[in-house]
Amino acid sequence: MKAIRAFSILLGILMLDSALQTVDLRGASQDASAAPAKTTSAESVSPTQSLDPSPHLDSPRTNSLGVVLIRIPGHSVWIAAHETRVQEFTAFTLSTGYQTEPVRWKMRYGGWEQRDWRQPGFPQTPSHPVIFVSYIDAEQFCQWLTRVERTNGLITARESYRLPKDEEWSLAVGSSRYPWGARQSIANSTPAMASPGGHLASDRLVDLKAFPPPLNAGNYAGSEFQDPNSSRQRTLRDYRDPFPQTAPVGSFPPNALGIFDLGGNVAEWCLDWYHRDLLSPELEDKVPFYNNDGGGRQYRVVRGASWIDSHPALLRADCRFFEFPEQRSDHIGFRIVLTGQP
Shortest distance (Å) from residue 221 CB to Ca ion: 6
Q: Do 250 and 49 touch, CB atoms closer than 8 A?
A: yes
If one counts every other C-beta atom within 10 angstroms of the C-beta of residue 42, the result is 12
Choose one: 44-52, 131-139, 174-182, 234-242; the region binding Ca ion (CB under 5 A): 234-242
Shortest distance (Å) from residue 129 CB to Ca ion: 13
Which residue lies nearer to Ca ion by CB, 43 or 167?
Answer: 43
Which residue lies nearer to Ca ion by CB, 319 or 336?
Answer: 319
Which residue lies nearer to Ca ion by CB, 211 or 243?
Answer: 243
230 forms part of the interface with Ca ion (CB under 5 A): no
Q: Which helix (H) or strand (E) holds 136?
A: helix 135-151
Q: Which of 149, 241, 261, 309 binds Ca ion (CB under 5 A)?
A: 241
Choose one: 124-132, 167-175, 237-245, 314-322; the region binding Ca ion (CB under 5 A): 237-245
If one counts every other C-beta atom within 10 angstroms of the C-beta of residue 94, the result is 9
243 forms part of the interface with Ca ion (CB under 5 A): yes
d(CA 114, CA 99): 15
Choose one: 35-43, 186-194, 300-308, 320-328; the region binding Ca ion (CB under 5 A): 300-308
Backbone angles phi, psi at 136, to 5 degrees: -65, -40
Q: Where are the beta strands (DSSP E) in the chain?
A: 61-62, 68-71, 77-80, 103-106, 112-115, 160-162, 267-273, 300-303, 320-323, 332-333, 337-339
Which residue lies nearer to Ca ion by CB, 161 or 307?
Answer: 307
Shortest distance (Å) from residue 48 CB to Ca ion: 13
d(CA 232, CA 110): 13
The Cβ-side half-sphere exposure at 61, using a 13 Å CA radius, reads 14
Which residue lies nearer to Ca ion by CB, 132 or 243?
Answer: 243
Choose one: 14-22, 81-89, 268-276, 302-310; the region binding Ca ion (CB under 5 A): 302-310
Shortest distance (Å) from residue 24 CB to Ca ion: 19
Of 191-220, which residues contact Ca ion (CB under 5 A)? 219
Choose one: 33-41, 180-188, 275-283, 301-309; the region binding Ca ion (CB under 5 A): 301-309
d(CA 102, CA 31): 7
Shortest distance (Å) from residue 223 CB to Ca ion: 9
H and E: helices and strands count for the chain: 5, 11
The vertex-264 CA angle with 284 and 175, nearest 5°, equals 50
Shortest distance (Å) from residue 233 CB to Ca ion: 14
Q: Can you say how many angstroms the Cα of residue 173 is from the centroid of all Cα atoms in its chain?
A: 12
Which residue lies nearer to Ca ion by CB, 23 or 45?
Answer: 45
Shortest distance (Å) from residue 284 CB to Ca ion: 30
Shortest distance (Å) from residue 240 CB to Ca ion: 8
**Binders of Ca ion: how many residues, by CB under 5 A?**
4
Exposure of 203 by Cβ count < 10 A (0-12 exposed, 13-18 middle, 19+ buried)? middle
Q: Which amino acid is at 3?
A: A
92 forms part of the interface with Ca ion (CB under 5 A): no
Please report, as ranges, the residues that interact with Ca ion according to CB under 5 A: 219, 241, 243, 307
